[in-house]
């Protein structure tokens, strides 16, 4: 079969499977004049133009099944770095106000609307290969194979950051991030965050899902519905083992499909069924790649552009009216803090201990690192009363907090046990396109960078942000402690 006619670089067309493979590699490596002879005929502006990697992005998303939420989001174009839209929050009037007498004046009302603003964020990564690698055959193949592989690697780096931020991003902590679902609701609809306060009971989790669905179908939720529950693998395991059979959705006539231990693929409520979706980028007690300090999860390869290590003191507070340290939580905890900035998470502070009593709290006072490059802090805590002094690998994330308006001044954060390390968060979403989407200024692109050494560098870019078009249709359940978790906070 012949494709393409006299395509530059393929003068006889695409006749064989080998020709097709070479053409596919050329498409994936587009943008590199050293690696592509089919672009040799281009000159002027076309030779340096931005080139789309959207096809590569979509193929990676489909092949790599870990990016579960992003693959479901519909990309919506915008033509400004600040997108605006209106959300209807009510239809006006009351339940039975349409009833009139035969000759009465006809009453009316109007819907209520809220104006929303979304700031586009810039996801970028640099890639390069050496000129020598372009000319030699490696274990990955020739130079073209290596360029295609590096494009995929760059795409994966952007997707990893994007999928994580869809849930946990917070522009108050790191302004270059977009707000994820949790941060968005904390600002706009804080009552849409259910706090299970350390419960390990699957029935409590079900009750939160049931209540969220019931409140979503009415005016409070914009007459929507809960379609999907996004959860971590550890929470999914809890549901498989402990969710009552009457709350499970059966996909077949097999009666054992809803028994304890069978996979829970959906949750049944009287309002409708909700699909369960596992996502490995949701922070989870067993997900050390997400909840341990950066120096642990990167094996010491901290970005040189990250801020330095802060100085920390931990001071016990005898009594706090808002404390959730109960008698079963009293004891000694160890704390450490890392500074956050545009360049990533920096090295950990020294580990400090504090002993908290029932009804007490712990004040964590953070002195900024030298250079003041921080925009926020990540606070880590140990288990209660560890047998030996913990190492950084023994700590888990408690909270991320802003650094304050003056980066030169210390910040004090009080641990009242409102945020429990080692707990899991569950996201209850209406996946309708009008309720949630990916708003992008432009699709994934690459363009060559100016070489300053014997390498061929290029950039891969994706400009966009998560948009909760109807935020009141979404909910979060936090502080659920999975029974199956290996790391226990208490």
Residue-wise pLDDT tens digits, 126-163: 999 888 877 776 555 555 578 888 888 999 999 999 99
313 & 201 share domain: no
85 & 219 share domain: yes
Residue 327 forms part of a structural domain: yes
359 is in which domain, residue-wise? 291-415
Tell me what pLDDT residue 41 has. 43
381 & 298 share domain: yes
161 & 231 share domain: yes
Residue 98 forms part of a structural domain: no
Q: In 260-396, which residue ranges form alpha helices assigned H by DSSP? A: 288-291, 294-297
Structure tokens at 50: 């931005």
Tell me what pLDDT residue 70 has. 96
* pLDDT tops 80 at residue 61: no
Tell me what pLDDT residue 50 has. 56
Residue 213 forms part of a structural domain: yes
**Strand partners for 196:** none
- Pseudo-torsion of CA 211, 164, 445, 127, nearest 10°? -170
Angstrom distance (rounded) from CA 354 to CA 170: 28
* pLDDT tops 70 at residue 468: yes
- Secondary structure in 3-state letters for 17-65: HHHHHHHHHHHHCCCCCCCCCCCCCCCCHHHHCCEECHHHHHHHHHHCC
Average pLDDT over residues 350-360: 98
* pLDDT tops 80 at residue 37: no
Which residue, among 228, 308, 315, has the nearest Cα to 275 in the 3D structure? 228
**Percentage above 90 pLDDT, the chain:** 68
Question: Minimum mean pLDDT among 96-100, 163-167, 169-173, 333-337: which range?
Answer: 96-100
Task: Compare 44 and 214 and report the one with higher pLDDT.
Answer: 214
* Residues shown for the chain: 490
Q: Please answer whether residues 304 and 360 qualify as being in contact, where contact means their C-beta atoms are separated by less than 8 angstroms.
A: no
35 pLDDT band (50/70/90 cuts)? very low
Q: What 3-state class would DSSP assign to 119?
A: strand
Angstrom distance (rounded) from CA 421 to CA 383: 8
Residue 54 forms part of a structural domain: yes
Angstrom distance (rounded) from CA 410 to CA 272: 50
Average pLDDT over residues 100-116: 86
Residue 72 forms part of a structural domain: yes
Question: Minimum mean pLDDT among 45-49, 335-339, 460-464, 471-475: which range?
Answer: 45-49
Segment 110-129, tens digit of pLDDT = 877 888 889 999 999 999 98
Domain stop point among 350, 384, 415 = 415
The winner for highest mean pLDDT among 147-156, 193-202, 210-219 is: 193-202
Tell me what pLDDT residue 170 has. 98
Tell me what pLDDT residue 479 has. 98
Segment 416-456, tens digit of pLDDT = 999 999 999 999 999 999 999 999 998 899 888 998 999 98
Report the CATH number at residue 463: 3.90.1690
Q: In 243-299, which residue ranges form alpha helices assigned H by DSSP? A: 288-291, 294-297
* pLDDT tops 60 at residue 268: yes
- Pseudo-torsion of CA 452, 453, 454, 459, nearest 10°? -50
Q: How many CA atoms lie within 13 A of 322 on its CB side?
A: 7
Q: Please answer whether residues 87 and 470 qualify as being in contact, where contact means their C-beta atoms are separated by less than 8 angstroms.
A: yes
Question: Minimum mean pLDDT among 95-99, 157-161, 231-235, 476-480: which range?
Answer: 95-99
Residue 336 forms part of a structural domain: yes
Average pLDDT over residues 359-384: 97
* pLDDT tops 50 at residue 46: no
Q: Is the whole-model pTM more than 0.75?
A: yes
Tell me what pLDDT residue 31 has. 43
Q: Please answer whether residues 339 and 307 qualify as being in contact, where contact means their C-beta atoms are separated by less than 8 angstroms.
A: yes
188 pLDDT band (50/70/90 cuts)? very high
* pLDDT tops 90 at residue 39: no
What is the rounded average pLDDT for all residues in the chain?
A: 88
Domain stop point among 396, 415, 434 = 415
Question: Minimum mean pLDDT among 84-93, 114-123, 441-450, 458-467: which range?
Answer: 84-93
Angstrom distance (rounded) from CA 455 to CA 132: 8
Domain count, the chain: 2
Residue 57 forms part of a structural domain: yes
Q: Please answer whether residues 67 and 159 qualify as being in contact, where contact means their C-beta atoms are separated by less than 8 angstroms.
A: yes
Tell me what pLDDT residue 34 has. 38
Task: Compare 52 and 146 and report the one with higher pLDDT.
Answer: 146
Q: What are phi and psi of 159, to 5 degrees?
A: -65, -35
User: Strands 228-231, 272-278: parallel, antiparallel or unpaired by DSSP?
Assistant: parallel
Q: Please answer whether residues 429 and 230 qualify as being in contact, where contact means their C-beta atoms are separated by less than 8 angstroms.
A: yes
Domain stop point among 378, 397, 415 = 415
403 & 429 share domain: no
* pLDDT tops 60 at residue 292: yes
Segment 217-247, tens digit of pLDDT = 987 767 899 999 999 999 999 999 999 999 9
179 & 307 share domain: no
45 & 150 share domain: yes
**Strand partners for 316:** 362
Residue 342 forms part of a structural domain: yes
Burial environment of residue 322 by CB neighbours within 10 A (0 to 12, 13 to 18, 19 or more): exposed
């Amino acid at each position: 079969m012949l494709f393409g006619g006299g395509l530059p670089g393929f003068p006889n067309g695409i006749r064989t499977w080998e020709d097709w493979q070479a053409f596919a590699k050329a498409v994936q490596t587009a943008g590199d004049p050293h690696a592509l002879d089919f672009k040799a005929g281009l000159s002027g502006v076309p030779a340096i133009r931005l080139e789309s990697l959207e096809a590569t992005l979509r193929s990676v998303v489909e092949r790599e099944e870990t990016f579960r939420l992003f693959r479901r989001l519909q990309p919506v174009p915008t033509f400004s770095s600040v997108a605006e839209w209106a959300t209807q929050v009510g239809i006006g009037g009351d339940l039975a106000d349409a009833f009139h007498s035969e000759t009465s004046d006809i009453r009316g009302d109007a819907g209520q609307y809220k104006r929303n603003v979304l700031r586009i964020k810039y996801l970028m990564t640099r890639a390069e290969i050496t000129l020598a690698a372009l000319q030699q055959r490696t274990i990955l193949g020739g130079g073209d194979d290596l360029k295609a592989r590096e494009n995929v690697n760059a795409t994966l780096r952007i997707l990893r950051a994007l999928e994580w931020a869809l849930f946990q991003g917070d522009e108050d902590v790191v302004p270059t991030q977009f707000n994820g679902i949790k941060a968005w609701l904390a600002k706009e609809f804080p009552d849409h965050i259910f706090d299970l306060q350390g419960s390990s009971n699957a029935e409590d989790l079900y009750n939160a899902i049931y209540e969220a669905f019931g409140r979503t179908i009415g005016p409070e939720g914009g007459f929507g519905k809960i379609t999907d529950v996004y959860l971590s693998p550890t929470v999914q395991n809890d549901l498989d083992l402990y969710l009552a059979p009457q709350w499970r959705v059966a996909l077949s006539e097999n009666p054992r499909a809803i028994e304890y231990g069978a996979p829970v693929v959906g949750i049944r409520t009287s309002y409708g069924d909700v699909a369960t979706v596992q996502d490995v980028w949701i922070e989870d007690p067993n997900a050390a790649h997400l909840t341990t300090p950066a120096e642990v999860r990167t094996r010491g390869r901290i970005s040189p552009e990250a801020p330095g290590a802060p100085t920390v003191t931990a001071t016990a507070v005898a009594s706090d009216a808002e404390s959730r340290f109960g008698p079963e939580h009293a004891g000694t905890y160890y704390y450490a803090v890392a500074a956050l900035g545009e360049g990533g998470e920096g090295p950990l502070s020294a580990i400090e201990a504090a002993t908290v009593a029932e009804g007490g709290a712990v004040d964590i006072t953070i002195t900024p690192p030298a250079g003041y490059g921080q925009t926020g802090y990540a606070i880590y805590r140990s288990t209660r009363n560890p047998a030996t002094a913990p190492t950084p690998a023994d700590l888990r994330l408690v909270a991320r907090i802003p650094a304050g308006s003056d980066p030169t001044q210390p910040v004090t954060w009080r641990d009242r046990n409102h945020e429990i390390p080692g707990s899991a968060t569950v996201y209850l979403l209406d996946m309708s396109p009008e309720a949630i989407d990916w708003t992008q200024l432009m699709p994934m692109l690459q363009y060559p960078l100016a070489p300053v050494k014997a390498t061929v560098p290029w950039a891969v870019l994706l400009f966009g942000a998560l948009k909760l078009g109807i935020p009141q249709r979404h909910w979060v359940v936090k502080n659920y402690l999975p029974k199956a978790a290996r790391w226990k906070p208490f």
